[in-house]
Chains A and B, each alone.
Chain A
Amino acid sequence: MTSTDARVLVVWLPDWPIIAARRRLELPAEQPLALIHKGVVFACSSDARTSGVQRGLAVREAQLRCPQLLVVTYDPQVDARAFEPVVASLEDLVPGVRILRPGLCAIRARGPARFYGGEERAASTIHEALAKADIAARLGIADSVFGAERAALQTNDSTPVSIVALGTTRQFLASAPISTLDDSTLVPVLRRLGLHSLGDFAALDRVAVGARFGEAGLRAHDRASAVDRLSGAEHTPEIDFGADAVFEPALDRVDQIAFGVRTASESMIDRLAESGLVCTALRITVTSESGERRERSWSHPHHFSAADVVDRVRWQLQGSGGVNAGPTSPVERVELSPARVDTSAHHESGLWGTSLDERVHHALARLHSMLGHGAVSTPSLGGGRFLSERQVLVAWGDETPPSKRTLPWPGSIPPPAPATVFTQPRPADVRGPGGEPIDVDARGTTTAPPAWLTLGRSPAMKVSSWAGPWPVTQRWWDAEARRSAHRFQMIDSEGMAWLMILEDHEWAAEARYD
């Protein structure tokens, strides 16, 4: 059970969240700092700690104890991202690093111990190498991950390496208080059962612990009895698939830039293909000579080929201006980075081929280049009370916004749907039998029955039948977006049916049933 196979080396960077935050915010080392998560202190710097700030303290209390304290919101993503270079420098020395959490990682000790000639030599080599990179690390080696972590936590600045001899980890852990398990639900129960040290807990029968405390209890028991093993995937370095094209001198013609981007896009797509990936969404950042950065995301109905990427760069530079438009100032740099990748296995064309759809996409891409971005779109149905809101046009190749169509939309009109929906309602005039203007009063009734309908400048037509008013009220609580209108269906003397709308005492035709 206690073989050298299971030996684990843990590298711990004390106060890592604080170091990461300091680096990110470029703060001086003497500034007391506390990271706040959910209203309480998550981590604090050593000088703040000497003033009495500690983990779990409310923000106000921490600021009271240490008035010069700088309070920053804790961002786990920043923490993890800042840890990445540390792991990279660690991977230069030893392979197979597993990140337990930012600031703490574990490595199987057997390999490095053999390579560097003993565990002690391995640990000190790693420590020195990290110290050269300005990283103050503490190391612990033991028979289990938890044991090695405890060993690393017990080190201090003068003796940064602590090694628990083979087979003694269980004894080493036995005296530690039960609270070191760091399980807020389990620890109080164990304490109430009279188990105050890890040794007490480890002495219990494993099967009984499993029966009483389930999976979490078994995990804790393994840790207390020093039999927990390294698990989970090894850290694999992230590959950056992005590609840049830099122009020296800066270029201002779209075709020149597109030509220059070709190599970069080909290399990006090739590298993705080597990893068995395809790019389905792409971010293009264009930096001009004047320092202006324009960033835009593009998505693709299938996946990007190198030529598609060049097309997107071209469209981004042209804007909506069509074939003759170009960038406003010379472009210095174009960065391509895949925003979303997928396994290429999901994108293999079927046995029967998708040739027609491919052809359509090619032709549309060409049309897009000819007419400018946004000219070709795919329609979809959205939600809304007004008919023109319910038509959603998304530029071809972009992502369709999630539809809110399934929500109930009070005030929607019964079928049939009108075949013509005016994007801009056409101004109209509706008058009563005697030529008097018609309005809807506060009670929702018309002042006179509609009898004459005038659309734009055409002559007035007799209304043969009508229905309404049907009220449409939208966002009455919002002064900016508030709309309140009354709808009518009317048939004119030529048999054409109209959907008329009366908003702010103004008549307009919203749609035509033609």
Chain B
Amino acid sequence: MSSVAAFESPASVRQALQARISSMQSTRLDEDAFPVLPMMRAVLGRGLRRGTVYSISGSTSLALALVAAASQSGEWCGVLDVPDLGLEAAAGWGIDLDRLVWVADPGDRWMSTVGSMADVLGLVIVRAPARVTSAEASRLVARLRQTRSTMLVLGEWPQPESQIRVVSSTWTGLGDGYGHLTDRHLELEVRQGQSAGPPRRSRLRVPAATLP
């Protein structure tokens, strides 16, 4: 900073600082959502809304892909009760493992664990619990709204903000006894909010090497 200041006039330094301050003070609209990877904008145009629950069924990669951009921008993420999550895939999507909190087995304290994780972690990927009453669910959603964190549920969840479902998945690269898996084409069904309208369909191409 000082080296820059040494060569520039006070006015331009002030301008640069002001620009920096305004870039740090994000606008209200941006603050409302976590960013998503450019390729995921086709699915969720505005990113992941803060303080809500997304239900994702049929694909773990999708959850990882949605979390990746926020993790890259310095957000802490959590994984609850998904002991089989592939870490290499997570790292491949660009999730920063240093800021990933992993709770493999919450035992019978699922609710309190997810609550205290949501208090400090921006995004939490959870496996849908075997049974969750709608009262518990709405209490948790209220807590999420307060802490402005987002929960991505792998499986069904009562009244999610958005529901993303894999309709079909096709692979390329694998033949009859030769080749190996490369690209993947996903057809998704996205239902936003509790609106009664028909779900939106979108197609997604997942390249083999997600990160260079």
Contacts and interface: CB of A to CB of B under 8 A. Distances in A.
Given A491-B174, A514-B61, A417 B92 contact: yes
B89 A418 contact: yes
A356 B85 CA distance: 26
Contacts of B98: 378
Interface string B31-59: 00000000000000000000000000011
B58 A514 contact: yes
A413, A419, A491 — most chain B CB neighbours (10 Å): A419
B196 to A, nearest CB: 29
A489 B206 CA distance: 18
A381 B91 contact: yes
A495 interface: yes
Contact of B104 (A364, A367, A375, A449): A375
B136 interface: no
Contact of B59 (A378, A387, A419): A419
Given A421-B84, A465-B176, A497 B102 contact: no
Given A363-B116, A466-B177, A489-B181, A497 B171 contact: yes
B101 interface: yes
The SS class assigned to the B binding surface is mixed
Interface stretch (B11-19, B117-125, B197-205): B117-125
A367 B113 contact: yes
Contacts of A513: 61, 171, 181, 184
Contacts of A449: 176-177
A415 B209 contact: yes
Interface residues of B, number: 53
Interface string A475-493: 0000000000000010100
Given A390-B87, A465-B176, A514 B120 contact: no
B179 to A, nearest CB: 5
B73 interface: no
A511 interface: yes
A375 B88 contact: no
B119 A379 contact: no
Contact of A375 (B91, B106, B171): B106
B169 interface: yes
A414 B180 contact: yes
B113 to A, nearest CB: 7
A496 interface: yes
B119, B120, B168 — most chain A CB neighbours (10 Å): B120
A419 B107 CA distance: 23
B157 interface: no
A412 to B, nearest CB: 10
B101 A376 contact: yes
B116 A366 contact: yes
Contacts of B103: 367, 371, 375-377
Interface string A338-372: 00000000000000000010011011101100110
Given A415-B208, A422-B84, A449-B177, A371 B102 contact: no
Nearest to B169: A495
A306 B92 CA distance: 39
A393 interface: yes
A418 B120 CA distance: 28
Contacts of A370: 109, 112-113, 116
A390 B87 CA distance: 8
B170 A416 contact: no
B84, B121, B175 — most chain A CB neighbours (10 Å): B84
A172 B64 CA distance: 80
Given A371-B113, A376-B102, A387-B86, A416 B210 contact: yes
Contact of A419 (B85, B106, B176, B178): B85
Contacts of A364: 101, 120
Contacts, number: 149
A170 B106 CA distance: 78
A378 B60 contact: no
A416 B209 contact: yes
Contacts of B58: 514
A54 to B, nearest CB: 58
B86 A413 contact: no
Interface string A36-63: 0000000000000000000000000000
Interface in B116-145: 116-117, 119-121
B109 A419 contact: no
Interface string B184-195: 100000000000
A420 interface: yes
A371 B106 contact: yes
Contacts of A497: 171, 174, 181
Contacts of A322: 107
B101 to A, nearest CB: 6
A26 to B, nearest CB: 49
A380 interface: yes
Contacts of A466: 174, 176-177
Contact of B86 (A414, A421, A495): A421
A149 B119 CA distance: 67
B83 interface: yes
Contacts of A414: 180-181, 208
A489 B174 contact: yes
A363 B119 contact: yes
Contacts of A415: 92, 208-210
A393 B102 contact: yes
B87 A423 contact: no
Contact of B206 (A360, A371, A416): A416
B87 to A, nearest CB: 5
A467 B176 CA distance: 7
A505 B210 CA distance: 34
Contacts of B76: 356, 360
Nearest to B74: A356
Contacts of B89: 416-419
Contacts of A423: 83-84
B151 to A, nearest CB: 16
B97 A380 contact: yes
Contact of A417 (B88, B175, B180): B88
B113, B176, B177 — most chain A CB neighbours (10 Å): B177
A155 interface: no
Contacts of B90: 379
A419 B64 contact: yes
11 contacts: A378-B98, A378-B101, A379-B87, A391-B88, A396-B101, A414-B208, A416-B206, A416-B210, A449-B176, A468-B177, A511-B86
Which 7 A-B pairs have CB atoms at the shortest separation, nearest pair first? Answer: A417-B88, A419-B60, A363-B120, A419-B61, A417-B89, A421-B86, A419-B89
